Amino acid sequence: MPYDETMVNRVREIIADRTDKVEERAMFGGLAFLVDDKLCVAVKTDKIFARLAPEVYEAVVDKEGISLMKRGNTAMKGYVYIDFDMLQNQTQLERWVGSALDFNPLAERSARR
């Protein structure tokens, strides 16, 4: 499964600084990080995925470099993809991953399939 190993390592370090309740799993054609058994961040070849608080999601949904995660033709609220172009420096990456980690304790667990 293709994903950017350098970006995976950058994300892994940020998450490790905040929690040890993390599991890595192949999902969405990339590598996903589940924190406290909840999907938080994933890395693909050219973008990362983040699960964000509703107010953060609404603030960024129309920004350049952000695309929505969709199930069919329906956008999944709270879930966005961020192009690597938006993550050129550590501060930018920490902001996005940090936002996902901040929301994680409030996020509902997905139903087990």
Distance CA 74, CA 104 (A): 23
Write down the pLDDT at residue 110: 76
Report pLDDT for 76.
92
pTM for the complete prediction? 0.92
pLDDT value at residue 1:
64
The fold for domain 5-106 equals Aspartate Aminotransferase, domain 1 (3.90.1150)
Over residues 43-96, the pLDDT tens digits come to 999 999 999 999 999 999 999 999 999 989 999 999 999 999 999 899 999 999
Cα angle 6, 9, 10; round to 5? 90
In the chain, where are the structural domains located? 5-106
Q: Are 43 and 9 in contact (CB under 8 A)?
A: no
The pair of three-digit structure tokens given for residue 85, joined into one six-digit string? 């172009």
Q: Is the pLDDT assigned to residue 113 strictly greater than 60?
A: no
CA distances to 21, 35, 89, 96 from 66, rounded to whole Å, are 27, 22, 17, 11
Give residue for tokens 């293709």: 2
Q: How far apart (Å, rounded) are the C-alpha atoms in residues 57 and 101?
A: 14
pLDDT tens digits for range 18-45: 999 999 999 989 999 999 999 999 999 9
DSSP 58-113: HHHTTSTTEEEEEETTEEEEEEEEEEGGGGSSHHHHHHHHHHHHHHGGGSPPPPP-
Asked if the model's pLDDT at residue 109 lies above 90, the reply is: no
